[in-house]
Amino acid sequence: MLAANPADRVIVFGIPSACLVIAAAFVSRRRDTSSWPELALARLGDASYSIYLAQVQTVSLAAASIATLVPNLPPLLLVTTTCGIVVTLGLLLNIVAERPLLSLCRRMGQRSTDLPLTPEMQTPGK
């Protein structure tokens, strides 16, 4: 009955989902090292904006190219391959463009008090 009524989605899905997230947060705080799936998912999370930007043009181009090269490819395999290409391109875009640009912006955004003083600025009385 609860699953049939859309108004009860908070009870059926929201509360259990919130409990899972809270439990995962507490478990992850108690460990010192992350597992490789956690590191991989964190890396995908870091690259999520690049993946989002890459998918706009890549999905249609990759799907059309793959469908042309392999015309009898099952649709699920076509979708999976296209997703893999998009994620790979997004990760490359993150490594080549996003990370260096973020680093540059952080360096440019440093306050002048964070920068070392030149000898002329250290002389008292001037």
Q: Say which amino acid occupies 126.
A: K
What does the alpha-carbon distance between residue 78 and residue 62 come to, in Å, rounded to a whole number?
A: 9
Is residue 61 exposed (0-12), middle (13-18) or buried (19+ Cβ within 10 Å)? Answer: exposed
pLDDT at 56: 86
All residues at 6 or more sequence positions from 10 whose CB lies less than 8 Å from its CB, including other chains:
none
pLDDT averaged per 10 residues in sequence order, the chain, 126 residues: 65 88 84 84 92 90 93 93 94 94 89 58 56
pLDDT at 28: 75
pLDDT at 121: 55
- For the chain, domain boundaries: 1-32, 35-109
pLDDT at 97: 94
